[in-house]
Amino acid sequence: MKALTFHEFGGPEVLQYEDVQDPILRKNEILVRMKAIGLNFADVYRRKGNYHLKGNPPYIAGYEGAGVVEEVGENVTGVKPGDRAAFADVPFANAELVAVPKDHLIPLPEGISFEAASSLLLQGLTAQYLTKDSYPVTAGTLLVVHAAAGGVGQLLIQISKALGSSVIGLTSSPAKREAALSAGADHVFLYDEDWISKVKEVSPGNKGADVIYDSVGNTLSESFNAVKIGGTVVFYGMAGGDPLPVDPRMLMDTSKTLTGGDLWNVITSHSERVFRASQLFDMIQSGSVKIPEVTSFKLSEGAEAHRFLESRKSTGKILLIP
């Protein structure tokens, strides 16, 4: 089969499109022929060597995608060749064929395309747990979304609005500001503005937001300045760099809360994975949530796709198509 690989860590130039051995299917796995693959910043971190990778080169990144079941292991029931399926947490996804553990397979409804599933699952499940588990967003919540024009950002906006909240987005350019507004944000401010003051200006009593979702990292201190006394900052990413240490005395003095977020501490079973994915699919089919803009590249153009993702010019989701 063909796969997008890398033999050494580095920039997009280390990526190669080459022939590799087909996966060896185990008893509890399902072989899926990929139709669409989601590209995420985690793939960039793996390519750079920021994440630990098991085994020896060539390495294959990718964790999210959708396709058609080609073969099932002898211990697998309830799944057959020809079924449509997706996943959000299976390694070596940047390939034509992927061996998916049966507990990670998500059935794909007919009304959800392969491209939609690959655009939605990882980022949608992330936005879902952030608004449900990290901080329960309800009607009247005022929240701030960093990187509001990104895939998670736009889904965070839409899910939060569906829950009845007010949303402030933060973006780096006027074009991204328009994308966040189109997703439903009530206000969008640019990072090169005095966005902390602007957040407070549009908050009740000029006190600040109830919760701020920070995926940038090096903005964490600013997020604490923009959240109200007794408010919460949810830290779930560091696309802009590592955050500075947080002073626990500041937390005590202001009654503010810092909480972290990791999807895989929430989705710990097959039933939970399928249930939460089904909720997302229902939101898409009902129209309450729309898939953010998608940019597609051929899998063979993986290096170009990585460059585009790292350029920060993209909005929405980037897909790789085998």
pLDDT tens digit sequence for 161-208: 999 999 999 999 999 999 999 999 999 999 999 999 999 999 999 999
189 within 8 A of 195, measured Cβ to Cβ: yes
Q: What is the mean pLDDT of residues 102-106?
A: 97
Q: What is the mean pLDDT of residues 140-163?
A: 95
Torsion of CA 246, 250, 252, 257, to 10 degrees: -50
Domains belonging to the chain, first-starting first, are 2-120+268-321 (3.90.180.10), 139-260 (3.40.50.720)
| DSSP letter, residue 21 | P
Torsion of CA 177, 311, 159, 168, to 10 degrees: -30
In Å, what is the CA distance from 214 to each residue of 26, 145, 220, 240, 291?
Answer: 39, 7, 7, 10, 21
pLDDT band, very low/low/confident/very high, at 301 (cuts 50, 70, 90): very high
Quick: pLDDT tens for 107-131: 999 999 999 999 999 999 999 999 9
**Calpha distance 125→104 (Å, rounded):** 14
Least confident of 165-174, 244-253, 303-312: 303-312
Location of structure tokens 């903005």: 219
Computed on alpha carbons and rounded to an integer, the radius of gyration of the chain in Å comes to 20
* pLDDT value, residue 47: 95
Structure tokens at 289: 């949530």
* pLDDT value, residue 51: 81
Q: What is the mean pLDDT of residues 208-232?
A: 97
What SS3 class is residue 40? Answer: coil
**Calpha distance 31→312 (Å, rounded):** 34
pLDDT band, very low/low/confident/very high, at 45 (cuts 50, 70, 90): confident
pLDDT exceeds cutoff 90 at 314: no
What SS3 class is residue 15? Answer: strand
CA angle at 277 for the pair 231 and 80, rounded to the nearest 5°: 160
Least confident of 48-57, 92-101, 288-297: 48-57
Contacts of 40 (CB under 8 A, 6+ apart): 63, 64, 122, 123
Beta strands at 257-260 and 227-235: parallel, antiparallel or unpaired = parallel
pLDDT mean across residues, the chain: 95
pLDDT exceeds cutoff 80 at 21: yes
| DSSP letter, residue 33 | E
* pLDDT value, residue 321: 98
Contacts of 80 (CB under 8 A, 6+ apart): 69, 72
* pLDDT value, residue 41: 84
**Calpha distance 124→29 (Å, rounded):** 24
* pLDDT value, residue 217: 93
User: Bigger pLDDT: 310 or 70?
Assistant: 70
Least confident of 23-27, 49-53, 141-145: 49-53
